[in-house]
Amino acid sequence: MHPVMQKVGFIEDSELGRIILCQSSRARRFTFRYTQEGFSCTPPARFRQSDLLRAIEELRPRLKAMKERSEEWHREHPRHLLMSEEVERLRQQAKLLFPQRLQALAAARGLRYHKLSIRKSRTRWGSCSSKGNISLSLYLMLVPTHLQDYVMQHELTHLVEMNHSPRFWELLDEATGGRALRYRRELKQFAFFILSFFIFNFSFLHFSLFCLPVKAEKVMWYNVENVFDTQHDTLKNDYDFLPQGTYRWTPWRYWRKLDNISRVIAAVAEQGGWPMLVGMCEVENDTVLRDLTLRSPLRAAKYRYVHSEGPDLRGVDCCLLYQPSLFHLLGSEAVRIPSAEHGLRPTRDILHVWGRFVRTDSLLHVFVLHFPSRAGGDKASTQNRMLAARTLCAVLDTLQGQRVLVMGDFNAEPKDPVFQPILQRLVSLMPQKRRELKKAQGTYYYQGLWGYIDHILVSPAMKDFCESRAHVAKFPFLLTEKGTPWRTFQGPVYKGGYSDHLPIYVQVK
């Protein structure tokens, strides 16, 4: 049972204002909290007024500092509070996802619990009673899904071992594939990687990632690896990515994928603010983008998006997320690559978006692309990529002298012939020289080798307005223990990772 909190009275203080007294059957000491409504105090079950006054006097300097910090934060960040509708949305998502996942984890271990409760607990992620009742905090929706699993496995282990003895940690380590301590440390550092909100607790003052400033004009590219919704599209070959398909693409796996994408973008944002533009590929449709920007943790960033359905047989497309406070969208078009007319496999369109920097009112043309893969034979795929390159160059020739930025998965290394016509028009921000390539890690790992097939390029008119080299976002959580990208699938086996590519980004000056 959780303690019942009741307001039982208040006292007035000339410096601290009104202090609301709350009663709790479990309180063992005086606990003070501060919100926009003022101070509240939870005293022990039996206390004298003189004890309360003495506690206030002893803690007065700290309470005054707490109040000052809070009021300063309220003035600078008026939207910092987690609104009730957001909390309710988290609760509904947790009620939808947690029971299904907890039941699956329990069944896999042959365990049975009595019931599951979803609570609004900020001080503990979960608990398990001696009767087998498991309680999970709705704020678990804000952490990466592998840490959600860790908390659930932690509580399920308490069904076997109620304490935190060495045997408990052995069982938990076995259940988490030897990663119990690693996940435990990561959960403690959760505030550094929080997705939609972070709840940073000092003196019970809570902040939100809504406060993350949109300062840096940063451009990011990410091949997100097969983001399909769970519904069949009659015009697409998406049967593998259905709940009953080859990959068992359930709603839980789908929402975990969106959470993972959100986490990657949030991690890049920690380097100086939300990216102004985020180009992505291997996204199925508008439904995925709507869920990502409005229903996933990334909704805190308030991105808008541009997307166009292309002729790719699998149904994956390119898209662009943009910050309307930094980039004023003027228009977009889908540039069709005439593969079918040349007897080649239909491929993704090139997405062309143009708009203005809000700060400088300068026009920028952005191209987001995903060139044909090497599937179907090297000769045919090379012809298809060369055709895509010529199509891109034809559009670039109409934009000479303008600021242009091209980003995407070219499925080609820097020295590939595909780049010969492109580099006559654009400047690559990726490593080019042999010495640079040896030192760099790359963006894609295949058959034991790292390579660069993801690229950001700019026009000569844009060159002086951005960094000379793009950065590979090789965050530790994106990599396996072997140092390779942590994929969503390895063949047909679900790994629960992020992508088979690493994201890249560049700072726009």
**pLDDT tens-digit map of 282-295:** 999 999 999 999 88
Burial status of residue 326 (CB atoms within 10 A of its CB: 0-12, 13-18, 19 or more): buried
Report whether pLDDT(201) > 90.
Answer: no
In DSSP terms, which residues pair with 320 in a beta bridge? 279, 306
pLDDT in tens, 136-193: 988 888 777 788 899 999 999 999 999 999 999 999 999 999 999 888 887 775 543 3
- For residues 286 and 308, what is the distance between their CA atoms, to the nearest angstrom? 8
Sorted by sequence, the CB contacts under 8 Å of residue 68 that are 6+ apart come out as none
Percent of the chain beyond pLDDT 70?
Answer: 87
Which residues of 348-485 form beta strands (DSSP E)? 350-357, 363-370, 404-409, 427-428, 444-446, 449-451, 454-458, 471-472
The mean pLDDT value for 264-291 works out to 90
Q: Are strands 277-283 and 218-227 parallel, antiparallel or unpaired?
A: parallel
- Structure confidence at residue 419 (pLDDT): 93
Domains and CATH numbers, the chain: 6-76 (no CATH), 84-192 (3.30.2010.10), 217-507 (3.60.10.10)
pLDDT in tens, 432-486: 555 555 555 689 988 888 888 999 999 999 998 898 889 999 888 898 888 889 9
The mean pLDDT value for 215-237 works out to 87
Sorted by sequence, the CB contacts under 8 Å of residue 382 that are 6+ apart come out as 417, 418
pLDDT in tens, 399-412: 999 999 999 999 99
The mean pLDDT value for 295-312 works out to 90
- Structure confidence at residue 213 (pLDDT): 42
Report whether pLDDT(109) > 90.
Answer: yes
Higher pLDDT, 315 or 1: 315
- For residues 485 and 498, what is the distance between their CA atoms, to the nearest angstrom? 8
Percent of the chain beyond pLDDT 90?
Answer: 47
Banded pLDDT at 355 (limits 50, 70, 90): very high
Range of weakest confidence among 14-28, 380-394, 399-413: 14-28
The mean pLDDT value for 319-348 works out to 93
- Structure confidence at residue 44 (pLDDT): 85
- For residues 313 and 279, what is the distance between their CA atoms, to the nearest angstrom? 21
Helix, strand, coil shares, percent, the chain, to 5: 35, 25, 40
Burial status of residue 296 (CB atoms within 10 A of its CB: 0-12, 13-18, 19 or more): buried
Name the strands in the sheet holding 454-458, side by side, starting at the edge strand that comes first in the sequence.
327-335, 350-357, 363-370, 404-409, 454-458, 427-428
Report whether pLDDT(210) > 90.
Answer: no
Report whether pLDDT(374) > 50.
Answer: yes
| Average pLDDT of the chain to the nearest whole number | 84
What's the 3-state SS for 301-325? HCCEEEECCCCCCCCCEEEEEECCC
Rg of the chain over CA atoms, in angstroms? 26
Coil/strand/helix, residue 54: helix
Q: Which amino acid is at 324?
A: P
- Structure confidence at residue 82 (pLDDT): 42
The mean pLDDT value for 329-347 works out to 93
Higher pLDDT, 86 or 414: 414
- For residues 378 and 373, what is the distance between their CA atoms, to the nearest angstrom? 9
- Retrieve residue 283's tokens: 């996204």
Q: Are strands 471-472 and 504-507 parallel, antiparallel or unpaired?
A: antiparallel
- Structure confidence at residue 46 (pLDDT): 76
Closest alpha carbon to 367 in 338, 396, 387, 339: 396
The mean pLDDT value for 255-272 works out to 86
- Structure confidence at residue 30 (pLDDT): 85
Coil/strand/helix, residue 23: strand
pLDDT in tens, 247-261: 999 988 998 899 899
pTM of the complete model: 0.62
- Retrieve residue 43's tokens: 């005293």
- Structure confidence at residue 120 (pLDDT): 82
- Structure confidence at residue 85 (pLDDT): 56
Report whether pLDDT(81) > 50.
Answer: no
- For residues 312 and 348, what is the distance between their CA atoms, to the nearest angstrom? 5
- Structure confidence at residue 435 (pLDDT): 57
**Identity of the highest mean pLDDT range in 29-43, 178-192, 227-241, 396-410:** 396-410
Coil/strand/helix, residue 356: strand
Range of weakest confidence among 63-77, 125-139, 188-202, 230-244: 188-202
- Structure confidence at residue 135 (pLDDT): 94
